[in-house]
Structure 1
């Protein structure tokens, strides 16, 4: 099948995109309104500043859902400008701030400043609003601050080495020859992008796989070796391949410790991770850093290499590694509240890891989040008793399968068995709060794919419509086809000439 450009664009912009939004709005507003959180982010497309607006909500039939509500251009990046954009979008689709449980965005002053920010402005209109800031951003910034404690600028080493080989095919071929001579498999040097959270450690790993050949190559250049690279790699005129390599020790330590940071970021940005698990993830992460510091464990390969350094070089390296861990722990403690006063601490029992949920834990959560008006406490007590008996049966019947389920899937399994309206009201509120900004950030990757150089004449409205269709319709092609055949209103609109803008005018 094929359509002319005019008809295809009209179908996308005036038929399918409005349906993609209407289906989401119907779920949020029809019957008993569902609580939902809102997420925003900003990214440049040339000299344009693009803002998506997404929502997260929980349904007992499907679990946690992330959908895009709007996508537009907004040159005003002030708190007031973003606030107006959010309010206008919600008003346009008939949603209310009263349903919003949390505001999730980047950890910038414009979003979460103390006096004048998007969050403080929203909280004036929605008193119960929670701060759903991005904890993956905190972990990323922790790495940035901690790396400053090392005597070797690891990040700059990666950037300079990549830059040296990325601009010359001759240099790349020379490195191939050195790899062959050193009996090392040649691997392409990976690029590190400073704004991408997970690109540094793979780039370091790739350097370490060819480190012997790389170091030999730069030593062989002699005076022709770039001065900055010579300084970064600590290559003197008398350096040989057999000399103890201080830089390698720092790279090995970075490779080892950054794997820990990488695992945490991946957990935080996983679609199945919920706010219920945030406190546990961050607390475990801090404990692992403290344990490494107390045990003076910097990685086994790092330990082996330290034994080959001069005593004063080895002592200085150990002091740097300890300073790295101390700085990382201090930074995390500054930006994440590890006390029991943190509202995330009280949510931990809702993970159902032990298959039980006490009424006292539920009461504590309700008081902490001020949800007392949403539930009947007497009915909730009976529901907790019923839920525990069902949870015990679900866990005992298939314990391994239960452990493999994520938090949202466990609650879906419970609600499929029993009608627990008060419990559902609490869980719908809490599981609507995002664990990170991963979903809204991935929209920009999709935007880049759709708004490519070969499609640079696309309008903002067309890209918005394509993103809405891509993100909000989750059916397969055959399922979508069958649903369209049953939707008489959609078919009628598609046949009508009103889908063309110029004919409507």
Structure 2
């Protein structure tokens, strides 16, 4: 997963944390409602059951017609494709009535799949897993971005942790899950209902325990939190970074750094006014740093002459193409032309 131009350790760390967010759901096998890690392993088994057998697929289509739902191809999942679990669960939910009717009518279906569909709470289990995985899925997408810094990764992991804490403290279950649970309780399954609710709490606790275990090594980088510039930097925070780096053998001139931080603070305070968002601030900083670094050997006079001699570059500077709103307008115009 290492890419040229990117710090190798940073790249591996980002991939590792994406894997961590995914595998955080794996300890659910300890507290799983069905007391087995059914979701990940058997989504694959379910797909394989239909994958090369056209007769089985055609039979499933008939069951789809019988229960009046649209047939959809089952989605596979593997341990290394971290973004495939959530869509796989979602597809199972969409096909659940047909799948249940199909497997319970078979003479010799796979035992583990048969037991799953025989369980009265199997659909509720899937819905709750779907709710839980929705939070992980979006964060894993953010973690897999190519240019994440270590602080951005830490921020994403903290967000997952906060969501899980809130869900646990509120014993969160989606309205869909609550509705299905209420129906089971009215059907006389009160004992199973209580067990499910207890397992939900156990599920959140297990996820949090696993997540906290692997987030601990990242705490030493907390001193760099100010670098996301979500608010103007304070010198005490920057000074802590200088001390941290000094202990690692990286010497920084704190006198010059103080003056630079002062200028940065003034810039962030002005740039992040009521009409300017953080994205505007970062884009401005990015542009300034690109120019400063790539043209560091060029004087202001030479830079001016260079711009005047490059008509193509001047055209891009004066064009609206560099703005996102311009891209949207171009897309709308193209759409109107096609219509």
TM-score (norm 1): 0.52
Instruction: Tell me, in whole angstroms, the C-alpha distance in 1 between the residues paired with 2:266 and 2:57.
Output: 65
Instruction: Tell me, in whole angstroms, the C-alpha distance in 1 between the residues paired with 2:15 and 2:130.
Output: 28
Deviations 1:241-284 (A, max 9, x none): xxxx3110111111110111112211111124321223322222
Match of 1:206? 91
1:349 aligns with 2:255: no
8 A contact 1:105–1:132 mirrored in 2 = yes
Q: Quickly say closer, same or farther: Cα 1:406–1:264, change in 2 above 3 A.
A: farther
Instruction: Tell me, in whole angstroms, the C-alpha distance in 2 between the residues paired with 1:216 and 1:397.
Output: 57
Match of 2:25? 143
Q: Quickly say closer, same or farther: Cα 1:105–1:375, change in 2 above 3 A.
A: closer
Match of 2:235? 359
Match of 2:267? 390
8 A contact 1:157–1:232 mirrored in 2 = no
1:399 aligns with 2:276: yes
What number of residue pairs does the alignment pair up?
A: 285
8 A contact 1:147–1:154 mirrored in 2 = no
8 A contact 1:179–1:185 mirrored in 2 = yes
1:323 aligns with 2:202: yes
Q: Which runs of 5+ in 1 are unaligned?
A: 1-40, 42-52, 57-65, 67-100, 107-130, 236-244, 420-505
Match of 1:178? 63
Offset at residue 135 of structure 1 (A): 1.4
Offset at residue 55 of structure 1 (A): 4.6
1:232 aligns with 2:116: yes
Q: Which runs of 5+ in 2 are unaligned?
A: 294-339
Q: Which has the higher strand share?
A: 1
Offset at residue 133 of structure 1 (A): 7.5
Instruction: Tell me, in whole angstroms, the C-alpha distance in 2 between the residues paired with 1:133 and 1:181.
Output: 44
Cα RMSD (Å): 2.7
Q: Quickly say closer, same or farther: Cα 1:145–1:417, change in 2 above 3 A.
A: same
8 A contact 1:366–1:372 mirrored in 2 = no
Instruction: Tell me, in whole angstroms, the C-alpha distance in 2 between the residues paired with 1:394 and 1:228.
Output: 59
Q: Which has the higher helix share?
A: 2
Deviations 1:365-416 (A, max 9, x none): 121232785432112111122222223333339513xx23595x45424536
Relative contact order higher in (CA < 8 Å, ≥ 6 apart) = 1
Instruction: Tell me, in whole angstroms, the C-alpha distance in 1 between the residues paired with 2:4 and 2:285.
Output: 20
8 A contact 2:268–2:281 mirrored in 1 = no
Q: Quickly say closer, same or farther: Cα 1:410–1:382, change in 2 above 3 A.
A: same
Match of 2:129? 254
TM-score (norm 2): 0.75
8 A contact 1:293–1:325 mirrored in 2 = yes
Instruction: Tell me, in whole angstroms, the C-alpha distance in 2 between the residues paired with 1:344 and 1:298.
Output: 34
